[in-house]
Structure 1
């Protein structure tokens, strides 16, 4: 059954997380440098047990965790999510030796992980990867580049997806765990709108062996998609957390700010705008929770639900934050204002882990796939009329 409201225990946990993020994590985030990995913040996530909780969480719990942290500290949410994204392939497909070496370090916040999938010519079309794994004895040498990789070039290890076979599309891709100090691997930071670290990686004959593989040879695309399917609903949760923070700030501002002889909230144009922001935020939240519950219960329509959740939540967050800025006026554009920060943060989720257009493609594909195997009322009626 989809979740339409949280029970008291879940709500209390979310409240606790919001407070923890505001009091313990935000001060560390504020000391960090934009575009750089904030290692004290990552370490605090480990010390507080949040990274341990991350790797033991179901999809719904992951969504509650990300939404609550995002509400109070987007930097903490992003640092936690990137640890999960980079290390989840290790959890699902790594060998015992790989997990023993790296997972305790990731969970403790001592090692920073990264998910290296995107390339200059392969963003939303993940099957178009060109990073080449050239056979070399019992292993391969990687040649090519990755781009727009979160936590690069400062991560301690990368989950790297490379082409080991000559099959078209998704066939012939293998996942490798590549330590940052591996020969031939270099990186550089990219200056992006979003304040979290993003960079490019260059592989110049970087050696990898079968001991570095995550999963089966030529089975890396499955590892990548499984990771993205796990995290896609929770990207929506991140967006909902930002939308709720923007909405609450707007409620407080419009209740206090006076103009034209009274508080802004008494202007119908303002109050109706706030109502619309609230409705959209709640609708997105419910769709995210429903997608997460579907994932946890093993429902057959998880790809469609996950795509719908990410699509609606990220587009909603963009709308709500933009509307909040408009209702706050120029003050919201000043450096250091919550909404100025959210305005920069909210744009990227509409692109990464499958852009909005990709989500619509997935949804349509799933809908038409089902249509081929079922007949709706119209088709039933047409059949009766013909007979």
Structure 2
């Protein structure tokens, strides 16, 4: 069978280098930043780490070599992501969102857009460039493909043909990176917008590139309980004008959203695995040394030993599922939507319970902030909620693919490419407008 889980020499070095960077560079800064009361101060505190990450190529390793990127495979990117997220999952989210903002240009953008923005991101070795992925809205976007124009995406982009511009009105809630280091905007924000006020989500959505310094955009930082080392904001658009050449995916914004979150799914899944791994690492060491007042370490107790064995198995299962999803994305040009969604939802839900089980092993001491468990528990709460959310869009996309006549249980096993189409959308949407 052509299945090999052995890492190459290059992958082992990538993993070792990423682990060293995470422990020596990321950890001390992230620990201080996480404790800062102001969320924007916490994000800005990570700038020196971002600069070193850029110098090492982590900020552009997933971008194509053709435009100056590292050309890394998805599997390679996951190896690095696991090491970074095991120390702090917030900071790698900044890298992930750069990808969410730029990768759609490969499929939906013009060559000029690709050369300008992907090339600029890849050329940044100083750690200045940021890109924002701007989709979510305050009312929620789980029904972004809703058949009614009154539901789903409500950031409207009206075409001013006389001036060759689109004019944006509305609000976005939760976009990451979008405010930039100084709250004057990321270098570019890819915004999913409604370009037709009369049609539903399968026909009316597009995307526009809003460049830093564009007048009419306001940013307000969201104060989060976790992932404090990345930035999330509310963006308000009041008569924001962008050139018509900044438009992409006209009428196909729905496909852009679905395909993009398939790309990010195993990355988010591996981030959850990494946090669980960190909790397991601490709980295992604790169990081997802590006696609980007994005559020997608690790992000698059957209940603890059995629970640790289950925890370890779940982490291994999650990791390999994410590797499989990443492998299929590489092999199928991104068209691995069922396994992608599975990897994110399975790991996001399961790893949350793994962290809690590790806390049970540590006991009441897990609540002591001098130990890492309290932070890991906070961080684990994020994974079922972000990146489309496990209760909604990620599972809906998997559902839509599975409902297609071309899908069979062998599709995932065999790694077959199954192109995502509009016919796979709309499953689970509450179509009645009241």
Aligned residues of 1:3 and 1:290 also touching (Cα < 8 A): no
Match 2:242 to one of 199, 208, 221: 208
Aligned residues of 1:235 and 1:310 also touching (Cα < 8 A): yes
Look up the match of 2:264. Answer: 231
Look up the match of 1:161. Answer: 192
Determine helix, strand or coil for the equivalent of 1:126: coil
Determine helix, strand or coil for the equivalent of 1:183: coil
Return the alpha-carbon distance in structure 2 between the equivalents of residues 229 and 106 of structure 1.
22
Name the CA shift for 1:94/1:67 in 2 (closer, same or farther; >3 Å). Answer: same
Name the CA shift for 1:289/1:88 in 2 (closer, same or farther; >3 Å). Answer: same
Determine helix, strand or coil for the equivalent of 1:119: coil
Offset, 1:354: 2.2
Name the CA shift for 1:370/1:246 in 2 (closer, same or farther; >3 Å). Answer: farther
Determine helix, strand or coil for the equivalent of 1:262: coil
Alignment pair present for 1:347 and 2:381: yes
Task: Say which is worse superposed, 87-96 or 315-324, in terms of deviation.
Answer: 87-96
Alignment pair present for 1:21 and 2:22: yes
Look up the match of 1:287. Answer: 321
Look up the match of 1:81. Answer: 96
Q: Deviation string for 1:39-74 (max 9, x for gaps)?
A: 222222111111231322222222222112112332
> Normalization by structure 1: what TM-score?
0.88
Match 2:39 to one of 24, 35, 38: 35
Name the CA shift for 1:148/1:139 in 2 (closer, same or farther; >3 Å). Answer: same
> Normalization by structure 2: what TM-score?
0.79
Name the CA shift for 1:374/1:335 in 2 (closer, same or farther; >3 Å). Answer: closer
Look up the match of 2:6. Answer: 6
Q: Deviation string for 1:127-151 (max 9, x for gaps)?
A: 3101111222322210000001112
Name the CA shift for 1:71/1:372 in 2 (closer, same or farther; >3 Å). Answer: closer
The number of equivalent residue pairs is 374
Return the alpha-carbon distance in structure 1 between the equivalents of residues 372 and 3 of structure 2.
30
Return the alpha-carbon distance in structure 2 between the equivalents of residues 39 and 300 of structure 1.
31
Determine helix, strand or coil for the equivalent of 1:175: strand
Aligned residues of 1:174 and 1:219 also touching (Cα < 8 A): yes
Determine helix, strand or coil for the equivalent of 1:258: coil
Alignment pair present for 1:369 and 2:404: yes
Look up the match of 1:145. Answer: 171
Gaps of 5+ in 1: 376-387
Return the alpha-carbon distance in structure 2 between the equivalents of residues 269 and 372 of structure 1.
42
Q: Deviation string for 1:337-363 (max 9, x for gaps)?
A: 322222121212212222222333333
When the two chains are superposed, the root-mean-square deviation of aligned CA atoms in Å is 2.5
Return the alpha-carbon distance in structure 1 between the equivalents of residues 238 and 388 of structure 2.
28
Name the CA shift for 1:301/1:268 in 2 (closer, same or farther; >3 Å). Answer: farther
Offset, 1:273: 0.9
Look up the match of 2:118. Answer: 103
Return the alpha-carbon distance in structure 1 between the equivalents of residues 142 and 320 of structure 2.
26
Match 2:203 to one of 168, 171, 188: 171
Determine helix, strand or coil for the equivalent of 2:141: coil
Look up the match of 1:242. Answer: 275
Offset, 1:93: 3.6
